[in-house]
Amino acid sequence: MARAAERLRVLFLCTGNSCRSQMAEGWARTLHPESIEPSSAGTNPQAVNRLAVRVMAEAGVDISPQQSKSVESLAGLEFDAVVTVCDSARDACPAFHGRARVIHACFDDPPRLAGAATTDAEALPHYRRVRDEIRQFVETLPQALTGDSTMKTRACCDDSCCSTPAQDSHAVRDQVREGYAKIAQGGCCGPSGSGGGCCGATAFSPDQLAQAIGYSSSELGAVPDSANMGLSCGNPTAIASLRPGEVVLDLGAGGGFDCFVAGPKVGATGRVIGVDMTPEMLTMARRNIASYRNQTGLDNVEFRLGEIEAIPVADASVDVVISNCVLNLSPDKPRVWREIARVLKPGGRVAVSDLALVRPLPASVTDDIHAFIGCVAGAVLVEETRAMATAAGLRHITLTAKPQYIDAMTNWEDPLYRAIIEKLPPGSKPSDFITSLDVSAVKP
């Protein structure tokens, strides 16, 4: 290892040396000019990814002068550390054979994440998320190199080298995306199923569920048949008090149900933007637009591909953010709340219906990915929601618990809740732990 007075020579590796390793090199050069001398390379060098250049420029870092390089071109150089940035061996990331310390920092591949995107606007949120995760890693890299002698030093990525909390978050996100893709294709609740609350099929149809949780017949009349998939746990448009001319953002729009409910409320001069991370859901929502136009005569709803941790919407451009039984699915909820605050105009409002905990669930429930997809295992305590919204800078936060929703799901013998009951302590019921929660807040 280099002496403390010298800059540490660090090589960042990924297969193409076009995106992740280039971003890591740019962050190291910017954040640690006095302590790190960074380079990057790959086994199959490609041109620096233009979207990587773009999102780094958004963060104030210019990587456009950087060049893709092969590992062989650096063979004569000595490094203090080599950092592989492949994501759990999905790429054949290059091994570096030598005396340098090898560190595995595994990040998702933005081009792969954005593979279904049809526009830059849809692709950029994926690049932004990975950009920010790489920054978090690089920020602490000097301390890790000089102070953590137990860091792993295996050769290249394999299936076990990426078991960090961040990678676990990626795995959860991928599993949730896969689960909701199946829903969109009729494999769970939805038009071809029997409906159900937050992906728990019930004996009630989607329309019956929607009416039971507060949607009116007139609201449902403007919604295309396939948009209501029985995934709601409340009616955020009711607590939003939407007004004509407002811009509304729906996080986790699914088939577009709440977007189509909100559209007539904001009228021809307003706009509704739905964001969802599942391409199959986005395809369904976009197909539903034609039916919505025919039913209402309005052309004020659009859908964008993106993750709610990196919302594809400009700063201070939205009057109201709504969401229905989605925020609890995020593995990085504080970041979602910060994103909500970012996109809201001053004076903008939040109206969220979600599931929350009144006390912690048993581990047997939280470890169940089916419960996570059903919006239960990912829920946090009610006061944690308040703390995250407050930390994001929101004010006038009101939390309204509605345990009767959970009791209704139990009374309807929802399969998800039946499975949860089996894992709860004897004599308890789901509503002892879980509640439907309406959240309202304002950006100062």
In the 3-class helix/strand/coil scheme, how is the chain assigned residue by residue?
CCCCCCCEEEEEECCCCCCHHHHHHHHHHHHCCCCEEEEEEECCCCCCCHHHHHHHHHCCCCCCCCCCCECHHHCCCCCCEEEECCCCCCCCCCCCCCCCEEEECCCCCHHHHCCCCCCHHHHHHHHHHHHHHHHHHHHCHHHHHHHCCCCCCCCCCCCCCCCCHHHHHHHHHHHHHHHHHHHHCCCCCCCCCCCCCCCCCCCCCHHHHHHHCCCCHHHHHCCCHHHCCCCCCCCHHHHHCCCCCCEEEEECCCCCHHHHHHHHHHCCCCEEEEEECCHHHHHHHHHHHHHHHHHHCCCCEEEEECECCECCCCCCCEEEEEEECCHHHCCCHHHHHHHHHHHEEEEEEEEEEEEEECCCCCHHHHCCHHHHHCCCCCCCEHHHHHHHHHHCCCEEEEEEEEHHHHHHHHHCCCHHHHHHHHHCCCCCCHHHCEEEEEEEEECC
Please identify which of the residues 86, 161, 199, 259 carries the catalytic annotation: 86
Q: 106 an active-site residue?
A: no
Q: 325 an active-site residue?
A: no
Please identify which of the residues 14, 19, 189, 233 carries the catalytic annotation: 14
Q: 189 an active-site residue?
A: no
Please identify which of the residues 93, 156, 157, 198 carries the catalytic annotation: 93
Active site residues: 14, 86, 93
